[in-house]
Structure formats: C-alpha cells, structure tokens
C-alpha cells in the first residue's frame, strides 16, 4: 500500500530485511528449547533406554482404520519407530515385538523403558514381560521435562501422522 502511494507519509520497510512477522505470529511459532545435551557424555548406550508414548485419538481414522500412534524413541540415538493402532490395547504387542526385534537384530539389551504412566504401558502382562527380560520400567509425570526428549519428536511426528490420517 505504501509502494502504491495509497498511504501518505508512511515509511515502507526495507526490502532487504525480509518478510516481517507480527508479534502474535512470532509467539505462536515459539517452542521451548530443549535442555543442553551432553552428547559427548551419553549416559545410555543405543537401545538401553526406550521412551514410549501414544498420541490420539486422531480426528479421523487412517485408511487402515487406525486412530492412535504409538511412538518409541531410543534415548541415545534419537531413533524413532511409529506404530499405527486401532486401539490403545494394541500397543502391548507392538512394544513386546519391538523390544524382541531390537535384541535379536542388533544384539542390544533393552535395560530401561520410560513412559508417562499410562494404563496401556502398565499392564500386568507387560510388567511380567519386563521382569522376564530384566527391563526396569520408569514412569514420569505426563509432559514433564524428563520425558521431553521423547515428547518433542512426538509433537512433530503426531503433526505429520495427523496429515496422513486426514489424507
């Protein structure tokens, strides 16, 4: 409008400064920065600690009828594996299968699993499985900072999965 001289006595922003965002847009795009990572001082080896979380239900089911997303994240590598679920109860079989696959394919022992204490992760069957495999179960408060390593990628993955579900 300034360039077209529709507004008098106004200064146009310099074109070299790039597009500017309003304060509300800037604040809306802000996310909390993760705590500084000490990548040189890893506390866990690959696949020693796995984080679990479930997103959903999604607004629309996927073409296969799934409405939940189980996300498993490795603490050391950040490797993520997602499972589309029709019901939260399906997560138990996915977790057992994934842990056994990691241990057989990579020869790595899963020592710890961490989750937000959701019922689907604390079934008697899973507790027995963890005990048989020598895995320690750790729970965090939902959306707490100890689980932040997992919740951040989950946020991105759930957005992408949401697009697939809406597809």
Residues 22-70 pLDDT 10s? 776 776 667 766 666 555 456 888 899 999 999 889 888 888 899 999 9
- 3 state DSSP class of 128: helix
Please enumerate in sequence order all residues whose Cβ is within 8 A of that of 75, keeping only pairs 6 or more positions apart, or say none: 43, 44, 48, 49, 50, 51, 114, 149
- 3 state DSSP class of 53: strand
Amino acid 78: pLDDT: 87
What pTM value is reported for the model? 0.65
Contact 117, 143 (CB under 8 A): no
Q: What is the bridge-based pairing of β-strands 49-55 and 112-115?
A: parallel
When mean pLDDT is compared over 3-12, 71-80, 134-143, 153-162, the highest value belongs to 71-80
Domains and CATH numbers, the chain: 46-166 (3.30.420.10)
Residues 88-112 pLDDT 10s? 999 999 999 999 999 999 999 999 9
Portion of the chain with pLDDT greater than 70, in percent: 61
């Amino acid at each position: 409008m300034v360039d077209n001289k529709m507004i008098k006595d106004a200064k146009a922003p310099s074109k070299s400064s790039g597009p500017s965002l309003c304060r509300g847009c800037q604040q809306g795009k802000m996310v909390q920065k993760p705590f500084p990572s000490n990548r040189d001082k890893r506390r866990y080896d690959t696949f020693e600690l796995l984080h679990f979380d479930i997103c959903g239900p999604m607004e629309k089911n996927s073409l296969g009828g799934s409405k939940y997303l189980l996300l498993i994240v490795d603490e050391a590598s950040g490797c993520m594996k997602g499972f589309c679920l029709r019901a939260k109860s399906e997560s138990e079989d996915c977790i057992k299968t994934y842990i056994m696959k990691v241990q057989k394919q990579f020869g790595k022992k899963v020592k710890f699993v961490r989750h937000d204490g959701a019922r689907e992760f604390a079934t008697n069957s899973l507790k027995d499985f963890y005990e048989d495999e020598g895995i320690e179960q750790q729970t965090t408060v939902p959306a707490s900072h100890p689980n932040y390593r997992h919740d951040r990628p989950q946020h991105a993955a759930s957005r992408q999965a949401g697009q697939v579900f809406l597809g």
